[in-house]
Amino acid sequence: MPEPEPLVIDDLHVAFGPVNALDGLTLTARRAEITAILGPNGAGKTTMMRCCTSLIRPDSGSLSVLGHEPGSPQAAEATGLMPQSAGAWVNIKAGELLHYMAGMYADPIDPELLIDALGIRSFARTTYRRLSGGQQQSVNLAAAIIGRPRLVFLDEPTAGMDPHARHHTWDVIEELRRDGVSVVLTSHAMDEAARLADHIWIVDQGRVAIHGGVAELTAEASLEDVFLAHTSDRADASFQPSSDQTPSRQTSTGRS
């Protein structure tokens, strides 16, 4: 029997009151690949991540994580999550946190290796709450992968990072793929997705708008242009200037 794909989402629905955060989301992440989920704010990316890690229970649809239910012991022990924030860690030093996390696993990555690989050494003795946003992201990533997960979810992994830290992070993510780890990441950075991703899913209003490999999606336009053409501009919906102030911008979908 073939091994199931690391992540299979089929017709997933999640509503918060009148708001449909996920509206029939369907996508797949393949083994030992980097899968990028792109979309504007409010498209449902973080909600999807929370469903995958059992922090939110979907209203309907199916979701398989490494062939198991999200949150099951089999799924939980083989997945890692890098959230956008981790407020519970505020009073512990970065290095101490990673050594503590390593102690929770039978065969962790040496935390000292991650401290060096992600450029954490210079602030390893600083408490988490005193770190900059980008520094916290580096610690969050190290904590997500220290247990050697087979599947890791990275929610905007380089948000707030300076260019040096971004490149260190990209190197580590690419190393994960070489080691056979399946990576699912969200991002607003088109250059990041274009460099890292084997497959890109562009999500809008809780469903997939378009997907494909980087070369396929960018055959006739930049990834940013493809993104703009297939996602809605919420500012346009809430602000309508007079006709003589409205710039003309045509996209491949015919929206202006």
Q: Which helix (H) or strand (E) holds 41?
A: none
pLDDT in tens, 63-119: 999 999 999 999 999 999 997 666 667 789 999 999 999 999 999 999 999 999 999
In a domain, 215, yes or no: yes
In a domain, 68, yes or no: yes
In a domain, 199, yes or no: yes
Residue 248 has pLDDT above 60, yes or no: no
In a domain, 141, yes or no: no
Q: Which helix (H) or strand (E) holds 91?
A: none
* Residue 61 to residue 58: CA distance in whole angstroms: 7
Per-residue pLDDT, 243: 36
Pull the structure tokens for residue 7. Answer: 């992540």
* Residue 176 to residue 32: CA distance in whole angstroms: 8
Residue 251 has pLDDT above 60, yes or no: no
In a domain, 160, yes or no: yes
pLDDT in tens, 178-194: 999 999 999 999 999 99
pLDDT in tens, 121-174: 999 999 999 999 999 999 999 999 999 999 999 999 999 999 999 999 999 999
Q: Mean pLDDT across the stretch 16-38?
A: 97
- Structural domain that includes position 62: 7-78+149-235
Q: Mean pLDDT across the stretch 47-76?
A: 95
- Return the CATH number at 196: 3.40.50.300
Largest CA distance in the chain: 65
* Residue 23 to residue 215: CA distance in whole angstroms: 28
Per-residue pLDDT, 233: 86
pLDDT in tens, 3-22: 889 999 999 999 999 999 99
Per-residue pLDDT, 144: 96
Number of separate domains in the chain: 1
Residue 175 has pLDDT above 60, yes or no: yes
In a domain, 250, yes or no: no
Strand order in the sheet with 7-16: 19-29, 7-16, 60-65
